[in-house]
Structure 1
Amino acid sequence: MDRIAIVGGARLEGEIPISGAKNSAIKLMAASLLSDQPLRLTNMPRLADTRFLGRLLSRLGTQVTETTGADGPETVLHAPEIISALAPYDLVRQMRASFNVLGPLLARTGHAKVSLPGGCSIGARPVDLHLKALEALGARIDLHEGYVYAQAPRGLQGAEIEFPFVSVGATEHTLLASVLASGVTVIRNAAREPEIVDLADCLNAMGAKVEGAGTDVIHVTGVASLHGATHAVVPDRIETGTYAMAAAMAGGEVKLTGARAVHVSALLDMLVKTGVDVAHDADSITLKRNGARLKSVDLTTDPYPGFATDLQAQFMALMSLADGESVIRETIFENRFMHVPELSRLGADISVHGAEARVRGVEALTGAQVMATDLRASVSLVIAGLAAKGETVVNRVYHLDRGFERLEEKLGACGANIRRIREDGEES
């Protein structure tokens, strides 16, 4: 497996372009199943996850074409006919988000057989809410031998759906299923993330009638069919926040281009409290830290617009060198402190008690061999390595490739001493 090696101590100076959001792109790709006309997605990230979902969609009947246009990387998805409504275990198990093909397949064909996605290293993340929403829309759901068998031969029907707690995945899945349902669907206690708004904007461009995305109540008036469209994927707020913290960790001055500050306002507020200078305009954020030690700040993760759980590990790495003690509370996923033992290998002083971690800032971190456990944990180790003395080697970086496009190139262009060591021993 590939590894990434970082020699810490280099300040970061320059610009980092922010790619399209992974968490949005994969749901937009699934939306292509809802129409027999092409969906053109611009600002598309080139990631392991998007490539994987492309393979699954191809198996279902979607023609997937990757090109580079005037606006950068784009993908055209065209599903003139659904040739299979089966998403098998060997594909779905590799990426949870692929489960979201269930709703579009059901809405368009009236039936689907999709494998349950299985476990997850950062928590159970059950799909119960997804299935209950589909049942509320009139689908008959049967579970057998690890598969979801869904049927709606007369089509889906609009319904009132209220989630017992906020779920991004269930909100997105309900949107994907309900746009072709007869009548009106009302989604209450809906997630408000920018990725929800992005999906709704894309569906509306395809002819759907979605109102209220970005609030906790969404109204969907079903339409008979959707047509093709062109849609630009929203900038990745998690990538934005990650590189913002990389700049804060290493020091220097970095401009994040194509970033939307409004999507990471909770993080930027925290960074200002730690002593980082932050400036932004409509499509960029500039971060500057020159010399002074960071201040410790307490943090609690919350659904959007609160502090994103996907940025918690990176912030913990940042606090490992801050002056004083910080308390980090995780309220979204139950197992999302798996990076703590690996940060400790670098010299971080962190203790975990249930959903709370206490981080006592140290004077310095020291490079070591560490192991990536999941996507966000792995990039927190890269951030820590940027400031650690000596060399840090992050193993199992296939996690990183799922969610970060050209990470070594982007950091290296700003002065980071970072390289990839490939499985065959070659370096890049």
Structure 2
Amino acid sequence: MEKLFIRGGRPLHGKVRVSGSKNAVLPIIAACLLPTSPCTLEDIPGLADVHTICLVLQHLGARVERKGTTLVIHPPEKPSTEAPYEFVRQMRASFLVMGPLLARAGLAAISLPGGCAIGSRPVDLHLKGLQMLGARIEHGYGSIRARAEKGGLRGNRIYLDFPSVGATENIIMAAVLARGQTLIENAAEEPEVVDLANFLCAMGAKIKGAGTKVIKITGVKELHGVTHTVIPDRIEAGTYLVAGAITGGNVLVENVIANHVKPVLAKLLEMGVTVYEENDGLRVIGQQEYTAVDVKTMPYPGFPTDMQPQMMALLTRARGTAIITETVFENRFMHVSELRRMGARIKTVGRNAVIQGPVHLSGAPVKATDLRAGAALVLAGLCAEGVTEVSNVHHIQRGYEHLMDKLRNLGAAIWA
């Protein structure tokens, strides 16, 4: 499926269930290289990125079995130590196998990662942390080779210049089998980091402080397999909350942890959207008119950069001037030109986007440049007059399970 067509103007009604978190499950799958016995993972979304990381593990010697939303991963006794370019170029999360490979095998060779083109996302912090644990890093021919010193990795005190989620996760996975104690300062606080730590602790790891800026890890000799249910996807949940708001609908978003989407809820309420918690999830009730608000993306618990494009689509419907400041990725306004094609009035200056509203969007041919930009264009299409044609849909499929079916069940006119 390379294109989606959406006939806008239909308020969404009904309920939609959020799938397991893409950003939580990828490091958790990588961590399945660490134990000596199989792991069973529940509520696993059927996404292209999940398929890719499973292919990486299979190449490294793991056996992966999928039954519906359950994954059973049998770790290899002696893992292969090289993750090839053909997989890593598709998805930067493939780089997360470096920490587990160093911990288990003492060696890892990985191509430089690919993924969405939303700006510079260097792996310097990953490498800095692994070096502090005693790994020797070599660069060459578009790949990175890391080798543990004789005697294996050893704990250390590591300060991250930026609270990188991926670097925090990679360092944690390397440190759980390292000798001694590791302290990660200025660590990422995202719920996905907490979910990974909970998974590792269930396997026998000793981790304290996950979800705070300081994480303490005491190395253990080995880990054992467990059964783990992945947390709900907070970005998917936020996207469906915005879908209900942008169409003026009434949608119950099920399987969502309200605390994980607090920054999004705060901005929706500030705009005048009605959102309240029910036993089964969060209900969003759209209004005819919204108030413009300013948004600044920040590491968790701030407003998530992965919700910035979707919020921009919604702000085209708000009365007044809104300013979005993107502090995380320097190239995350590529959806602006596509929204303009639909009639949005948006100007960008550096890392700021100024949105004048409200406007009545019109359907147009638009192109998804990355995962969340694609989601924003789908949302814009849901409220636009006429038919919107979204191309490069493969980007969207990387992060939203059964998007078309879920929107259809809410009453959207959407087809491929």
Q: TM-score range by the shorter chain?
A: over 0.9
Q: Deviations over 1:310-341 (max 9, x none)?
A: 00000000001111110000000000000000
Q: Which of 140, 144, 165 is 1:168 aligned to?
A: 165
Aligned amino acid, residue 196 of structure 1? V
Which of 313, 320, 323 aligns to 2:309? It is 313
Give 1:283 shift: 5.2
Q: 1:372 to 1:145 in 2, by over 3 A?
A: same
Are 1:26 and 2:26 an aligned pair? yes
Query: Per-residue deviation at 1:361?
Result: 1.0
Give runs of aligned pairs for residues 21-100 of structure 1, distance below 5 A. 21-68=21-68, 73-100=69-96
Residue 392 of structure 2 corresponds to 396
Mapped partners of 2:226, 2:338: distance in 1: 45
Q: 1:186 aligns with which of 178, 183, 186?
A: 183
User: Match for 1:214: what amino acid?
Assistant: G
* 1:100–1:397 distance in 2 versus 1, CA, 3 Å: same
Corresponding residue number in structure 2 for 1:203? 200
Q: Distance in 2 between matches of 1:98 and 1:82?
A: 19
What's the counterpart of residue 277 of structure 2? 280
Determine if contact 1:260/1:283 at 8 Å carries over to the other structure.
no
Give 1:221-370 correspondences, 5 Å limit. 221-281=218-278, 284-290=281-287, 292-370=288-366
1:192-221, Cα deviation, whole Å (9 max, x unpaired): 000000000000011101110000000000
Q: Aligned residue for 1:424? A: none
Letter in 1 for 2:232: P
Structure 1 letter corresponding to 2:338: E
Moved over 4 A (4+): none
Post-superposition offset of 1:83: 4.1
**Aligned residues of 2:126 and 2:167 also touching (Cα < 8 A):** yes
Distance 1:61 1:187 in 2: 30
Q: Deviations over 1:239-278 (max 9, x none)?
A: 0001100110011110011101100111101101111111
Question: Which residue number corresponds to residue 3 of structure 2?
Answer: 3
CA distance in 1, matches of 2:78, 2:388: 47
Q: How far apart, CA to CA, are the structure 1 residues paired with 2:79 and 2:34?
A: 13
Deviations 1:323-366 (A, max 9, x none): 11100000000000000000000000000000000000133100
For structure 1, the residue ranges without an aligned partner over 5 or more in a row are 421-428
Percent identity, aligned pairs only?
Answer: 51
Q: CA separation in 2, counterparts of 1:18 and 1:117? A: 28
Within 2, Cα distance between the matches of 1:213 and 1:119? 26
Letter of the 1:372 counterpart: A
User: Is the contact between residue 102 and residue 146 of structure 2 (CA under 8 Å) also seen in structure 1?
Assistant: yes
| 2:398 partner SS | helix
Task: Indicate the SS of the match to 1:102.
Answer: helix
1:426 is matched with none
Task: Measure the CA separation in 2 of the matches of 1:375 and 1:120.
Answer: 7
AA of the residue aligned to 1:181: A
Q: Does the 8 Å contact 1:294/1:321 carry over to 2? A: yes
1:220 counterpart = 2:217: yes
Aligned residues: 415
> 2:220 aligns to what SS in structure 1?
coil
Instruction: Judge conservation of contact 2:326–2:351 (CA < 8 Å) in 1.
Output: yes
TM-score calculated relative to the size of structure 1: 0.95
Which residue type is aligned with residue 263 of structure 1? H
State how far apart, in whole Å, the 2-side matches of 1:267 and 1:67 are: 33
Separation in 2 of the partners of 1:262 and 1:309?
17
Matched with 1:144 is 140
SS of 1:34's equivalent in the other structure is: coil
Moved more, 298-307 or 78-87: 78-87
The residue type paired with residue 387 of structure 1 is C
Cα-to-partner distance string for 1:3-62 (whole Å, 9 max, x where unaligned): 011000111110000000000101000001001211111011110000011111101011
Structure 1 CA distance, aligned partners of 2:307 and 2:114? 24
**1:89 positional shift:** 1.4
> What displacement does 1:164 show?
1.1
Letter in 2 for 1:175: I
Deviation string, structure 1 residues 63-103 (Cα, Å, up to 9, x no partner): 111113xxxx1111111323411111121111000011111
**Structure 2: 5+ residue runs without aligned partners?**
none
Q: Distance in 1 between matches of 2:116 and 2:275?
A: 35
Moved more, 147-156 or 20-29: 147-156
- Supply the RMSD in Å over aligned alpha carbons: 1.1
- Deviation per residue, 1:378-399 (Å, 9 max, x gap): 0000000000000001001000
**Equivalent in the alignment of 2:99:** 103
TM-score by length of 2: 0.98
- Corresponding residue for residue 377 of structure 1: 373
Q: Check conservation: 1:347, 1:366, Cα contact below 8 A.
A: yes
Cα distance in 2 for residues equivalent to 1:367 and 1:174: 45
SS for the counterpart of 2:171 is helix
